[in-house]
Amino acid sequence: MQIIPHDPGPEAVRDPVFVICNGRSGSTLLRFILDAHPELACPPETNLAALCAHLATVWSLIEGAPLSAERGDEPPEIPETSVAGIRHMMDLMVGSYLRRRGKQRYCDKSLATARYVSLLLRVYPQARFLCLYRHPMDVVASGIEACPWGLAGFGFDPCGSAIAPLGRLALRNAATCSRCAASSSLAVTASCSSGDTPTAPTESHLKWTVDKAST
């Protein structure tokens, strides 16, 4: 039986835009705004970054590279063949989605993205990061309001029922945003008052996100 390779399309898939955010920070509203742009396709949460990390683990295992001591973490050494393979698989999937939507650039909004930024930069060297900030105490207050019987969902599951880990999670994501290269990241700040509607990105934010798509 002959296996015919899937045609990825006439154009290479551009490096995507990744939204780095916490749960309860206005990220869903931001996703709807980004997806409304004629050039951006931003679907509901796909956990694409976590998928890349899982593929990196499996591929590294097959290649004989060392694995992480902690289950779920990306391997300490990821061979270039693995990175190229992950990129190819992602392009097949994302390219098909973009053509179906009639859009030019993929945008991913998933709550766990901050954990995998270093791997994403290897898979997508020209990726852009849109960092959504909300004060950690407002994230905590909104999380308690949404989950009065224990923190669950919204990316809060690793925190259990404790409040302190939730605050630390918000701070870690903010620190990840600050480490992203200045040329590849842009900040959008949500309202600092718990319960308020987050500030929408301006036209300049959207222009920055889709501008110079070939870079």
pTM above 0.85, yes or no: no
pLDDT (mean) for 157-185: 59
143, burial (CB in 10 Å: exposed 0-12, middle 13-18, buried 19+): buried
pLDDT, tens digit (0-9, with 9 covering 90-100), for 32-42? 999 999 999 99
pLDDT (mean) for 122-136: 87
Task: For residue 186, give the 3-state DSSP assignment.
Answer: strand
Domain 17-210 CATH assignment equals 3.30.110: no
How far apart (Å, rounded) are the C-alpha atoms in residues 189 and 156?
21
Q: Domain residues of the chain, as ranges? A: 17-210
Q: Identify the band that residue 71 occupies on the pLDDT scale cut at 50, 70 and 90.
A: low
- Cα→Cα distances 89→48, 59, 99, 143, Å: 11, 12, 16, 35
